[in-house]
């Protein structure tokens, strides 16, 4: 297994992680009863961009190459802007951990795509043939990202549910 086949699975898995967090941040902005039009608009945009990242990650994994790289780079940049804007529009109910994790994963996707586009521009041969993904690379990427994405999703849920007094409701099943 070469380093290229090991690393090839990382952009798709990073896109999935970023997509899940971005969609969760967007959904959190939409469902709050006290969110305004700006928060709703950013939330809808974040959900759409998150779902697009999930689809792009699946397409990359299934084809073995970076698909629609310019569109993917634009999507990564737009997602960075939207999740960062959510932090300013609804700071009390947007998880900074969720935003930070999404930004890190989006930078991985964006940097990978930017390097790919740079190589194409510099005359490197276009990689049109699908190459197999490394199963080991995919498993390592999934394990690392689960350590990043799972806490970020939990923090995103807590931020959305946070009450005005700074507490998060706890559901208890005791006594039933």
| Rounded Cα–Cα distance for residues 148 and 97 (Å) | 9
| Rounded Cα–Cα distance for residues 29 and 40 (Å) | 6
Inter-CA distances, 66 with 11, 15, 58, 69, 112, Å: 8, 11, 11, 6, 9
* 135-149 as b/e: b if 16+ CB within 10 A: eebbeebeeebeebb
Q: Which structure tokens are listed for 80? A: 């960075």
Longest Cα pair distance anywhere in the chain, in angstroms? 69
What pLDDT score was predicted for residue 176? 59
What pLDDT score was predicted for residue 6? 47
* 112 SS3 class: helix
The per-residue pLDDT for range 19-42, each reduced to its tens digit, is: 999 999 999 999 877 778 999 999
pTM, rounded to two decimals: 0.84
What pLDDT score was predicted for residue 140? 81
In tens digits, the chain (176 residues) has pLDDT values of 454 554 567 888 899 999 999 999 999 999 877 778 999 999 999 999 999 999 999 998 888 888 999 999 999 999 999 999 999 998 888 889 999 999 999 999 999 999 989 988 887 665 554 566 677 777 887 888 889 898 898 888 888 877 767 677 777 777 65
Closest CA to 64 of 24, 20, 4: 4
Asked if residues 137 and 4 have their Cβ atoms less than 8 Å apart, the reply is no
What pLDDT score was predicted for residue 65? 83
* 156 SS3 class: helix
Give the number of other CB atoms < 10 A from CB of residue 42: 25
């Amino acid at each position: 297994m070469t380093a290229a086949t090991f690393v090839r699975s990382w952009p798709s898995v990073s896109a999935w992680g970023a997509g899940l967090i971005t969609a969760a941040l967007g959904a959190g902005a939409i469902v709050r009863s006290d969110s305004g039009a700006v928060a709703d608009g950013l939330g809808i945009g974040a959900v759409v961009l998150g779902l697009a990242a999930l689809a792009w990650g699946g397409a990359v994994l299934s084809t073995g190459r970076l698909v629609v790289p310019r569109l993917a780079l634009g999507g990564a940049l737009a997602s960075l802007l939207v999740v960062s804007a959510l932090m300013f529009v609804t700071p009390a109910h947007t998880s900074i951990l969720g935003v930070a994790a999404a930004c890190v994963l989006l930078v991985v996707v964006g940097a990978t795509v930017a390097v790919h586009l740079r190589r194409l521009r510099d005359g490197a041969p276009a990689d049109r043939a699908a190459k197999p993904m490394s199963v080991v690379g995919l498993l390592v990427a999934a394990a690392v990202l689960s350590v990043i994405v799972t806490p970020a999703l939990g923090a995103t849920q807590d931020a959305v549910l946070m009450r005005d007094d700074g507490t998060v409701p706890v559901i208890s099943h005791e006594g039933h």
